Amino acid sequence: MKSREEIMNMLEAFDLAGSLRGAGELAGVSHHTVARYVAERDAGELAGDGPRRRGRIIDPFLAKIEEWVERSHAKIRADRCHDKLKALGFEGSARTVRRAVAEVKANHRRGRRRVYRPWIGEPGMWAQWDWGTGPVIAGRRTNLFCAWLAWSRFRVVVPCWDRRLATVIGCVDRAMRAFGGAPTYWLTDNERTVTIDHVAGVPVRHPEMVAIGGHYGITIATCVPADPESKGGSEATVRVAKADLVPTDANLRGDYTSWAELVDACEAWMAEVNGREHRVTRRAPVEMLLEEQQRLHRLPEAPYTAVLGETRKVSWSSTISFGGVTYSVPHTLADETVWVRVDGDHLVVTHCAPSGPIEVARHQRSTPGHPMIDDAHYPPRPAGPLGRRPKPTSAAEAEFLSIADGARTWLVEAAAAGTTRMKVKMAQAVTLARLHGAERLDGALGAAAMFGRFADGDLASILAADPPGQRRRADDVHSLQPGTAAWGRLGGDR
């Protein structure tokens, strides 16, 4: 094969000499070589620097190889082709067949190669979300909800314990509130929480997702199956978030000790990623978000009810059950329906009042067999599990209890001591109150309850021992303490 310079020298010599033999002598080549290149030039088919393709022993069988590759969708192996070709009379080597099969398969793929078109997002139009596997906290695997606003490249990462429908809806609501508005479209994978079925290649959307779209004014779409390229932004967000937030040997990040630590790490990561310059736009996403917010739709003040979690019916004991654990709620919500969701290490209970959703209880998450009861959810009661508060059931009981707190204390203590003829003694106390006054009798009843004096005549005895205006006090004259006069004679005459 002649080089480009040699070919030009031959053509130049032909143009100068005007004959093939003369040109051959000037260029130092055969006149037949000069004639071939002159003919190619005149036909406009002058060969380049590449080698000329010569006939091969496999060429008569290429049509059959192409047929086999087409029928097998480029799955057939070269060794199988070689076995088949030998039956057809092919006498070449397996290496020749491998080269021919590779060439035919490359042409087959080239004709069916997918054509990619650059996707340029419009402000306020597209947002995407995807899931990534999060770190392990206390032996439990977490998930990372990764959202991406296409035009501004603003990213949101929300840690979650699970990927249930209520969790997905809550994460979408939280991401849009971080965006400052709602985009026109949300794009995601065909998970069961979004697409319940495919009919003739058409995805059947989950009814709850359709209702969400009506509430927020958005359209939730799914990408073509096995086509992750259509949402590459969220895929990249998942990859970067996992590389930075999930402990590995590459990032040397330590394990998380609590859920709050993971939440703080996600917040710090979002601030860092959204605050630095993006390599494509050469601008910080947080700056571009200010412009894109002008194209986002306004969010409703109240979130979609499914964001609040799962519904539970409050029992007569003002409790609900979630995950096999009993949690208390305010007693005023008995027989009402409340919404329950998991927020990190806490269980949040929300009641949808006419004025809007209101958080009514928040408990630390517990395990079965360890109920979480908040005393603030119930009206006050006497101390102790067996405490009783006297409630009059007759006029006589009401008159006795109206004396003062001492009467109620006496009644409780006397009943606990098994006192007999209590109603007779209560009637006597009412009579003594009329004679001595309710204040003095209240003190006497309190003293009787304190010292356990519930016999007949004890109240009268207590009143007689402490007559009004004659309260005795110990002084120096009437003290039982012996005097010190005898000490003055010490050391004197004996």
139 part of a folded domain: yes
Q: Which of 159-168, 247-256, 257-266 has the lowest mean pLDDT?
A: 247-256
Residue among 149, 147, 146 nearest 123 (CA): 149
* Last residue in a domain, options 242, 258, 292: 292
Can you tell me the mean pLDDT for 5-23?
88
Distance from C-alpha of 178 to C-alpha of 393, rounded to nearest angstrom: 61
Q: What percent of the chain has pLDDT over 70?
A: 88
Number of H helices, E strands in the chain: 16, 13
> Residues 157, 215: one domain?
yes
- Segment 54-63, tens digit of pLDDT: 778 999 999 9
> Residues 142, 288: one domain?
yes
> Residues 263, 132: one domain?
yes
Is the model's pLDDT at 489 over the cut of 70? no
421 part of a folded domain: yes
pLDDT in the model for residue 301: 85
- Segment 217-234, tens digit of pLDDT: 999 988 876 665 667 777
- Segment 93-114, tens digit of pLDDT: 999 999 999 999 998 888 777 6
Handedness of CA 298, 302, 305, 310 (dihedral sign): positive
370 part of a folded domain: yes
203 part of a folded domain: yes
Is 52 buried (19+), middle (13-18) or exposed (0-12) by CB count in 10 A? exposed
pLDDT in the model for residue 445: 86
Residue 340: CB atoms within 10 Å: 22
Distance from C-alpha of 366 to C-alpha of 161, rounded to nearest angstrom: 15
Is the model's pLDDT at 296 over the cut of 90? yes
Please name every residue paired with 346 in a beta bridge, in sequence order, or none if there are none: 343, 364
Determine which helix (DSSP H) or strand (DSSP E) holds 337, and give its type and residue range. strand 337-343
480 part of a folded domain: no
> Residues 156, 219: one domain?
yes
Q: Which of 60-64, 143-147, 477-481 has the lowest mean pLDDT?
A: 477-481
- Please, which pLDDT band fits residue 193 given cuts at 50, 70 and 90? confident
**CA distances, 254 to each of 8, 271, 470 (Å):** 70, 20, 79
pLDDT in the model for residue 417: 86
Per the structure, the complete domain to which residue 105 belongs is given by: 59-112
pTM of structure: 0.59
Please name every residue paired with 311 in a beta bridge, in sequence order, or none if there are none: 339
CATH code at position 143: 3.30.420.10
Can you tell me the mean pLDDT for 441-448?
85
52 part of a folded domain: no
484 part of a folded domain: no
Long-range pairs for 11-20: beta carbons < 8 A, 24 or more residues apart: 11/37, 11/38, 11/41, 14/38
Distance from C-alpha of 273 to C-alpha of 362, rounded to nearest angstrom: 32
Backbone angles phi, psi at 188, to 5 degrees: -155, -175
> Residues 88, 210: one domain?
no
> Residues 171, 232: one domain?
yes
Is 211 buried (19+), middle (13-18) or exposed (0-12) by CB count in 10 A? middle
Cβ 456 vs Cβ 425: under 8 Å = yes
> Residues 80, 38: one domain?
no
> Residues 250, 286: one domain?
yes
- The structural domain count of the chain equals 5
Distance from C-alpha of 368 to C-alpha of 326, rounded to nearest angstrom: 8
